Amino acid sequence: MRSVTVAVMQMAPVLGKVGENLKRMTEMVDEVCRNQRVDVIVFPELITTGYECGVRFTDLAERIPGPAVSLLAKQAADYEAYIAFGLVEKHKVESILYDAAVLIDAEGEVAATYRKIHLKGEERLAFRPGFKNLVVETKFGSLGLLLGWDLAFPEAARCLTLQGMELLCVCANWESPHTAEWQAYTTARAFENAIFIAAANRIGQEYTISFFGGSRIIGPRGEVYASFEEEGEGFRVAQIDLDEVKRYREELQILQCRQPQAYREIVKMY
């Protein structure tokens, strides 16, 4: 049995106030880790800045590693926990920005940086799309990262699964009123890949968009291990067994029975 304790964090970032948001994030990490061992902590997308920042994203962006990573890296090392969270990444050229997720390992080092591939709506005006899926090997299993709308594309989670992913960490800004969509996608990605999903979605209201939360931890057969049924701030924790991934994949033959030669159209642009 490979037992892993996972926490999804739900909060409302203050728009454009990186310092305030980081302070609240560190308080929440302390709160969840103070009285229990937690292996993986997942925060929402763009949690250090908020979503509707427009041109201000250029000023709020930071390189990786930067101040936000350094602050949370200390906590990751202190609590020996992996921490995933979303932020705006500044590339070498100041004008190139990415909607990114960082995974900090239990030693306080940057284990991975993922750049959102599927940009939605006005995100395309602010960010460049990423182009690479990646899986991180940890002492307890294989982790993958996705951001928000990436979840709507089965190909993204499947690519990670074919690289060996067992636990998918989703940092999201999924807006109201699309609760049913969020629940359907998180459940479907778990079912079709026989994986665990830790999906953290934010709450709160900005200029034109509101967010409903619904953060959840899902098992490889769609079991809900933990979830938010309301829009409050806080966290949910669940203990999962990553050996369940191998067991269900062998039982269902979900990967072994694929027929890639029949899937040529899937890599063609519409």
Per-residue model confidence as pLDDT tens digits over 116-171: 999 999 999 999 999 999 999 999 999 999 999 999 999 999 999 999 999 999 99
- List Cβ neighbours of 158 (8 Å cut-off, separation of 6 or more): 192, 193
Q: What pLDDT, on the 0 to 100 scale, is given for residue 94?
A: 66
Q: How many helices (H) and strands (E) does the chain have?
A: 7, 14
Higher-pLDDT residue of 264 and 201 is 201
Q: Taking the model in full, what pTM does it have? A: 0.96
Residue 202, pLDDT above cutoff 70: yes
Residue 230's pLDDT band (cuts 50, 70, 90): confident
Q: What pLDDT, on the 0 to 100 scale, is given for residue 138?
A: 95
Q: What pLDDT, on the 0 to 100 scale, is given for residue 80?
A: 97
Q: What pLDDT, on the 0 to 100 scale, is given for residue 156?
A: 97
For 37, the domain range is 3-267
C-alpha–C-alpha distance, residues 170 and 103, integer Å:
11
C-alpha–C-alpha distance, residues 13 and 11, integer Å:
6
Residue 270, pLDDT above cutoff 80: no
Task: Judge if the upstream peptide bond of residue 44 is cis by omega within 30 degrees of 0.
Answer: no
Residue 2's pLDDT band (cuts 50, 70, 90): very high
Residue 267's pLDDT band (cuts 50, 70, 90): confident
Axis crossing angle, helix 67-79 with helix 18-33, rounded to the nearest 10: 10
Q: Strand locations in 166-223, DSSP E?
A: 167-172, 196-201, 203-205, 210-212, 216-218
CATH number for the domain harbouring residue 32: 3.60.110.10
Per the structure, the count of domains in the chain is 1
